[in-house]
Amino acid sequence: MLTPEQRQFYDQRGYLIAHQLFALHEAEFYKQHYMCLRERGEYPGDFAGIDLSSTDPLKRFPRMIHMHRWDEVSLRWLLDRRINAYLTALGEGQEPYAVQTMLYFKPAGARGQALHQDQFYLRVQPGTCIAAWMALDDCDEENGCLMLVPGSQHWPVLCTTRADTTQSFTDVTVPLPAGTPVEPVLMKTGDVLFFNGQIVHGSYPNTSQDRFRRALIGHYVEGQAQAVWQWYHPVLRMDGTPLDFGHSPDGNTCGVWVERDGQPSLELAAIQAGATKSE
C-alpha cells in the first residue's frame, strides 16, 4: 500500500495525504447525507445546541460527534477497507481500533480550532492515536484548511493554555516557541489526511464569503494499545465488533517548553488536567 517514499514522508513529518482515496461521487454522497442529518435537528453529542437564528455560523451548523454510534453510514465509513489498509500500513502491519467519528461543517465566517494534539483527549496507552481526516470540500487557507506542525509527532503531549475564543471555538491551545513552522494542508474533495496523534494541528477561521469546509473524521488507536480515555468507549475492531479495552487515567504528565543554551527544549513537568469532551 505505501511506497518507500510515502513511508519516509510519514515517519519524518507525521502525516500523509492519500489523494482521491474516495471518488467525488462518494464525497458528494457523504456531504449530502450529513447536511440532511444536520437539518433534521439535534443528536447525541450536540453539546453546543442548534440555533438557526444565531449570527454564529457554528450555532447554525455545529459539529457532530460519535455519529457511528447511531448512524450506519458513519459506521461503514469509519471501518472502510481503504482507510483500514492505510492505517494498517502506517502501523507497520498492525490493524488499528476505531473509537470516534466527527463531522465538521465549518461554514463561511466560522471560527477555527486552536492548535492542539488529539492524544491530549484520547490518552491512548501505550502508543498514541491516529486520525483519518477526509475532505468533503476543497480545503485551502481561505476556507480554513487544517494547519499542522510537521515533525511534532515526536513531541510529548504538551501542557495547554487558554485559547483566543474569538478565533477558535475551543478554549485551550498549546504554546509553541517563536518561529515554529505551522503549515497549511491543502486538500481536494475526496482526499484523506492521516496524521499521528501527537501532531500539533488546528485551523484558522473560514474567511470565505460563501464556502463550506466540511470534513469527515475518524479517530483510531494503534494496534498495540491497551487503554483509551472513557469518552471513546466502546472500542471497535475494524470488522465492527466491540472488544474489552482498558480505561486510561484522567491525569498524566505533559510537556513544557524551556530555554536551554538559547534554544527551546521540551521537558516533562506539569500534571495534565483531566481530558474534556471538547475534542
- For 130-167, write each residue's pLDDT tens digit: 999 999 999 999 999 999 999 999 999 999 999 999 99
Does residue 14 form part of some domain? Answer: yes
Residue 260, in any domain of the structure: no
What's the domain count of the chain?
1
Question: What is the distance in angstroms between the CA of the first residue and the CA of the last residue of the chain?
Answer: 30
pLDDT tens, position by position, 70-125:
999 999 999 999 999 999 999 999 999 999 999 999 999 999 999 999 999 999 99
pTM exceeds 0.85, yes or no: yes
* Closest-CA residue to 66 (of 100, 92, 108): 100
pLDDT for 91: 96
In a domain, residue 167? The reply is: yes
Are residues 61 and 104 in contact, defined by beta-carbon separation less than 8 angstroms? no
Is 214 among the domain residues? yes
| b/e map 50-80, b = 16+ CB within 10 Å | eeeeeeebbebbbbbbbbbeebeebbebbbb
- In terms of Cα–Cα distance, which of 223, 235, 274 is closest to 251? 274
pLDDT in tens, 36-82: 999 988 888 887 778 877 889 998 999 999 999 999 999 999 999 99
pLDDT at residue 78, as a whole number? 98
Tell me the residue range of the domain where 244 lies.
4-249
Residue 1: pLDDT band with limits 50, 70, 90:
confident
CATH number where 172 lies: 2.60.120.620
C-alpha cell at 164: 483566543
